[in-house]
Amino acid sequence: MAKQPSLLKRAIFPLIALVPLVAATVWLVTGEQEAATAGKSQVPAVAAPTSENVQAPTANPQPADLASAEATAMVSHQTPKSLGENPFAPSLSGTDIDGALKAGPDGQLIVDLATKDFFDYFLNTVGEVSPETALAEIEALARNNLPAEAAEQALAILDQYLDYKQQALEMGNRSLDPSRQSDPAYQLQVLKSALADLKQLRRNAFDPATHDAFFALEEAYGEYTLASIEIQQRDDLSLQSKQTLLNWHREQLPAQLRQTETRMIKETEVGQQRQAAIAEASSPDEAGERLRELGVDAERADEVVSYLQERENFDARFQQYQQALASLEKAGISSDDFDTQQSELLQQHFDSEQTRTWAKLRSLDSQSPQ
């Protein structure tokens, strides 16, 4: 009989939901490094893998070429995809359950990334509902939809997962050296140490099959991210050499991650080209023409042109408003009269609440110290 999650572990869930774990810093610092190395070869960050975008290894690994129909046939029992119209937590209304608990014809739990996603879907509601409520929902769905042995296995892994989260929380509370926390080399050193410690913690917390199912993809991407940061920090490599090494590391990723990463890089490149087309265009019409040449469909390009024209018109009206306001400031009128006439000028020069708000914000920006 699997032991049930202790009250101590239930009590720490609100803290776990609020305090970032060490693993999260890997994805955060990637973005900071990209900003710091703007103009150089970049590797865009993507979110830590979930079963929504990649498929993790299972506890019973199958050949890579296994047909999806055969994989589906392995599942004889599964938790539902939805909690219905009135879920236990209001924030879950209208959503499908992330992940699932599944069992095979042999009555054993199938452990994959969807198992972890299932746990997280419910645990993330803590704070909105009590820890006891979230855990009770998991237990009820496991016992009502899986064979008895598979349900016990799921609850045992859940207990391990709670233990792991508690230890990871304690690990994540380590402080940085204030005198070195802005040093990129120190940041990289801390991240490497944190990822190594986190990997060891996970290996101690779970059996190898569960560890791989839950974290193999995330850790592979973490290693890739750290390698990418380290390459970007090196000043003894040319841009071409850096890109070659980045490409090599990308090829070492598992196929699912490699495909996602390649797609993200391509989307980033396309986005940069479109941003440059807009920035370099001498008019809204030229911007639209350049976007269409880059493959943007006519409707989207026309929306951009319309927006740019709107901003162009606003800029002209704002300049007129500023000139009228400057004349008003020189008139030497009282503060109350000035405020009244300024409101009238806003009404005269801007015909909608949105453009009047833009004008107020632009005025504040122009008054801010440079």
Q: Which residues pair with 77 in a beta bridge?
A: 103
Asked if the structure places residue 267 within a domain, the reply is yes
Residue 368's pLDDT band (boundaries 50, 70, 90)?
A: low
Q: Are residues 56 and 93 in the same domain?
A: yes
The token pair that represents 113 in the structure block = 């990334």
What value does the mean pLDDT take over residues 330-340? 83
Instruction: Report how far residue 125's alpha carbon sits from residue 111's, in angstroms, rounded to the nearest whole number.
Output: 22
pLDDT at residue 64 is higher than 90: no
Q: Are residues 228 and 93 in the same domain?
A: yes
Alpha helices in 173-238 (DSSP H): 184-205, 208-233
What value does the mean pLDDT take over residues 313-326? 89
Q: Are residues 221 and 308 in the same domain?
A: no
Q: Are residues 235 and 349 in the same domain?
A: no
Q: Are residues 261 and 343 in the same domain?
A: no
Asked if the structure places residue 279 within a domain, the reply is no
| pTM assigned to the model | 0.63
Asked if the structure places residue 288 within a domain, the reply is no
Instruction: Report how far residue 155's alpha carbon sits from residue 138's, in angstroms, rounded to the nearest whole number.
Output: 8
Q: Are residues 57 and 145 in the same domain?
A: yes
Asked if the structure places residue 233 within a domain, the reply is yes
C-beta atoms surrounding 152 within 10 Å: 16
User: What are 92-148's pLDDT values in tens digits?
Assistant: 999 999 999 999 999 999 999 999 999 999 999 999 999 999 999 999 999 999 999
Contacts with 174 (C-beta within 8 Å, 6 or more apart), sequence order: 22, 194
pLDDT at residue 26 is higher than 60: no
Q: Are residues 259 and 302 in the same domain?
A: no
pLDDT at residue 61 is higher than 60: no
User: What are 167-208's pLDDT values in tens digits?
Assistant: 998 887 777 888 888 889 898 998 999 999 999 999 999 999
Residue 7's pLDDT band (boundaries 50, 70, 90)?
A: very low
Q: Please tell me the predicted confidence (pLDDT) of residue 72.
A: 60
pLDDT at residue 351 is higher than 90: no
Instruction: Report how far residue 358's alpha carbon sits from residue 317's, in angstroms, rounded to the nearest whole number.
Output: 11
Asked if the structure places residue 287 within a domain, the reply is no
Q: At what angle do helices 353-367 and 335-349 cross, to 10 degrees?
A: 130
pLDDT at residue 35 is higher than 90: no
Contacts with 298 (C-beta within 8 Å, 6 or more apart), sequence order: 292
Residue 36's pLDDT band (boundaries 50, 70, 90)?
A: very low
Q: Which residue has the tokens 């453009």?
A: 355
Q: Are residues 216 and 333 in the same domain?
A: no
Quote the percentage of the chain above a pLDDT of 70. 79
Q: Please tell me the predicted confidence (pLDDT) of residue 256.
A: 84
Q: Please tell me the predicted confidence (pLDDT) of residue 360.
A: 84
The token pair that represents 192 in the structure block = 């490497």
Of 239, 273, 307, the domain-final residue: 273
Instruction: Report how far residue 126's alpha carbon sits from residue 26's, in angstroms, rounded to the nearest whole number.
Output: 24
Domain that holds residue 353: 298-367
Asked if the structure places residue 1 within a domain, the reply is no
Instruction: Report how far residue 362's alpha carbon sits from residue 179's, in angstroms, rounded to the nearest whole number.
Output: 38
Q: Which residues pair with 103 in a beta bridge?
A: 77, 109
Q: Are residues 232 and 362 in the same domain?
A: no
Q: How many domains does the chain have?
A: 2
Asked if the structure places residue 103 within a domain, the reply is yes
Of 234, 257, 273, the domain-final residue: 273
Asked if the structure places residue 348 within a domain, the reply is yes
User: What are 237-288's pLDDT values in tens digits?
Assistant: 999 999 999 999 999 999 989 998 889 888 999 999 999 999 999 999 999 9
Q: Are residues 261 and 116 in the same domain?
A: yes
Q: Are residues 214 and 115 in the same domain?
A: yes
pLDDT at residue 91 is higher than 50: yes
The mean pLDDT of the chain is 81
Q: Are residues 66 and 111 in the same domain?
A: yes
